[in-house]
Structure 1
Amino acid sequence: MACSGGADSLALAAAAAFHQRRRSTADGTTGAGRIGAVVVDHQLHPDSEAVTAAALTQLTGLGLDPVISVQARVDPNSTAGPEAAARTARYRAFAQALEQTGAQRILLGHTRDDQAEQVLLGLARGSGTRSLAGIPAVRGPFRRPLLGLTRDETEQICAHAQLSPWQDPANTDPRFLRSRIRTEILPYLKARLSSSITDSLARTAQIAAEDADYLDQAAKARFELLLEDPGAEGQLRMELQALGDEPPAIRRRVIALAVIAAGGATPSYERLTAVENLLHRSGSAGPIELEGGVSAHRGTRGSPDYAKLVIVPRLN
């Protein structure tokens, strides 16, 4: 499991240690299903070494083993912003911890409050259903078992377990959008709109996740049917008419799948819209430059790709 030293992840550590002790008592074993912990030091706070040391001590005291720390290297010049840069560095550190320990999965301490904040972030960015689905309970090796608990409840768990969580000053720093949502927007909505707004937003995330899962599966099935035999140099081709007949929610997902299959990254809404405009058979035929060095164009009259959308893989 991952621990920052904050209340959420320390509460998760206490719960994990409790369940491991109970399971060991029940079956008489101590080695199977061992739970350890990793503390990621982002080196962004002047007391980060002391915070990491305090977290390691408390985790060891809970009986978790192994307990390790990994330093994250945050790119100060990242164009994605400080929050995104820290997240990227953190997940690189998680990958290092998985390799170092041979662990199968990592537990993360996100709560229902985090889920509500994530939905509001998606709304602020004008994102689609997948973004409004918030933080997934399961993705790859990561598990988030506390999404049903509130931040207040994790603090109560820490108090009961006599743990001393660290209060990260970044959580209340108004320079960060998530911090403003946490300290200003959500309290305002609770006071002026509904005291249960956190629960409502978390429920919205669950509904959106179910809808997004269904649409993603439907789009994958349509993509496999619409995709023609690869063209020159592995180009991906789909008939304009057939793709244009798909509902917008499926059509955009199919295009995104094609871009990813060609080696690119998930396209932005603006880039997807630009590719959709190629389906009208009027105006520019492209190419449209897409994320990850991939491009898209419409086959012109007289070419072998006439009346087809062509996704050109990135050059290696």
Structure 2
Amino acid sequence: MTGRARPLPETPAALDVRRAVRNWLSEFAPAGVVAVGLSGGADSLALTAAAVAEAEVVDALIVDHDLQPGSDRVAAEAAEAALGLGCRAARVLTVEVGGAGGLEAAARRARYAALDTARDGLPVLLGHTLDDQAETVLLGLARGSGARSIQGMAPFADPWGRPLLGVRRAATRTLCADLGLRPHEDPHNSAPEFTRVRLRMEVLPLLEDVLGGGVAPALARTAEQLRADNAVLDELAEKLLSAATDGESLSIETLATAPIALRRRALRAWLSAGGAKALTDKHLRAVDALVIDWRGQGGVALGGGKPGTRLVAAREHGRLTLALGR
């Protein structure tokens, strides 16, 4: 049932978080009806409080990963806090976390799947902050997959909204204190076996010390600039792909005369649309070599296809083809 919105204090933290949510809503959800992914931690609690203050209607979705004793109690407390802040409804979603790809990745997949199923067509706001963005950029930099891997998280990637990408984590904690809320401290957020935790606890503080501060905002600005650049390059690559398309194949001549940045983007889009999975930089370079450095080499095997077969990109009679092979 709908709760009465809890007034927010006019503190710097409250104004900072509230302004970020207001700006996001005006751009991406002017109708003002949203869901919030609430973990019970400081970031999502602060986000929920600001969303209730700024949006017309807010539903809270709480995922219980069932990975620790008492997780059901933590989820129930988060639901109670959501209603106390003024959410229309609060639902607890219990999920089963598998082990494929590691605990961190498996929990993320289960969480997003549950939120997507339960959101009832609404955009889902997530509590990622500027500090999370900085960590994401560093993780992407380590992958070495080019500008796309270090462009960070977008403010809105339907249905996921991230209004707090310009807000520091300290502000969300301060707002919770201003409201008298006691955020849940997930022990996984301080477990050194997780790479992101080590980035947060060790790497970023060291960079701040060595480089004289301002590292996290600088990384977030870099991500924002790269997203803008990538949007333009993607649009140009789409035009290149359209010009090169010849039925289900691509014209080698058209691709070979294009700048490398556009050609490889066009190839990635074409391969993904054709069913290629888990494309790596090595895959992309090998396929690109079929276009601009062909010496009679055979096709490039890619992830995808069907059981007993594989997806193969090959050069045939001046065209690039993608087909199932053995």
Distance in structure 1 (CA, Å) of the matches to 2:246 and 2:238: 14
Contact 1:132–1:205, Cα closer than 8 Å, also in 2: yes
How far did 1:251 drift? 1.1
Aligned to 1:24: none
CA RMSD of aligned residues (A): 1.6
Q: What SS does the aligned partner of 1:175 have?
A: coil
The reply to whether residue 264 of structure 1 matches residue 282 of structure 2 is no
Q: 2:193 aligns with which of 159, 164, 175?
A: 175
| Match of residue 213, structure 2, among 182, 195, 198 | 195
Secondary structure of 2:44's counterpart equals helix
Structure 1 segments (4+ residues) deviating >6 Å: none
Alignment of 1:241-256 (within 5 A): 241-256=253-268
> 1:4 is matched with which residue?
39
Q: CA deviation at 1:55?
A: 0.6
Partner of 1:25: none
Q: Which amino acid aligns with 1:167?
A: E
SS of equivalent to 2:57: coil
Identity %, equivalent residues: 40
CA contact (8 A) 1:262 1:313 kept: no
Q: In structure 2, the residue corresponding to 1:174 is in which secondary structure? A: coil
What code does the residue aligned with 1:267 have?
L
Counterparts of 1:68 and 1:85, CA distance in 2: 21
In structure 2, relative to structure 1, the CA distance for the partners of 1:268 and 1:256 (3 Å cut) is same
Tell me the TM-score normalized by structure 2: 0.84
Contact 1:264/1:313 (<8 A) preserved: no
Please state if 1:295 is matched with 2:305: no
Q: Tell me which of 105, 115, 130 is aligned to 1:94.
A: 115
1:63 aligns with: 86
1:96-111 matches, cutoff 5 A? 96-98=117-119, 102-111=120-129
> How many angstroms apart in 1 are the aligned matches of 2:156 and 2:252?
36
Among 103, 121, 143, the residue aligned to 2:139: 121
- Change in Cα spacing, 1:53 to 1:163, as seen in structure 2 (3 Å) is same
| Matched residue count | 285
Once the 2 structures are TM-superposed, how far is the Cα of residue 266 of structure 1 from its aligned partner? Answer: 5.5
In structure 1, the residue corresponding to 2:105 is in which secondary structure? helix
**Amino acid in the other structure paired with 2:265:** R
Alpha-carbon deviation of 1:241?
2.4
Q: Counterparts of 2:108 and 2:90 in 1: how far apart (Å)?
A: 21
Give the 5 Å matches for 1:1-316.
1-20=36-55, 33-76=56-99, 78=100, 80-98=101-119, 102-229=120-247, 236-265=248-277, 267-279=279-291, 280-286=293-299, 288-293=300-305, 294-299=311-316, 306-312=317-323
SS in 2 for 1:35: strand
1:251 is matched by which residue type in structure 2?
R
Q: Is the 8 A contact 2:130 2:217 kept in 1?
A: yes
Amino acid at match of 1:175: E
- Equivalent-residue separation in structure 1 for 2:104 and 2:256 (angstroms): 38
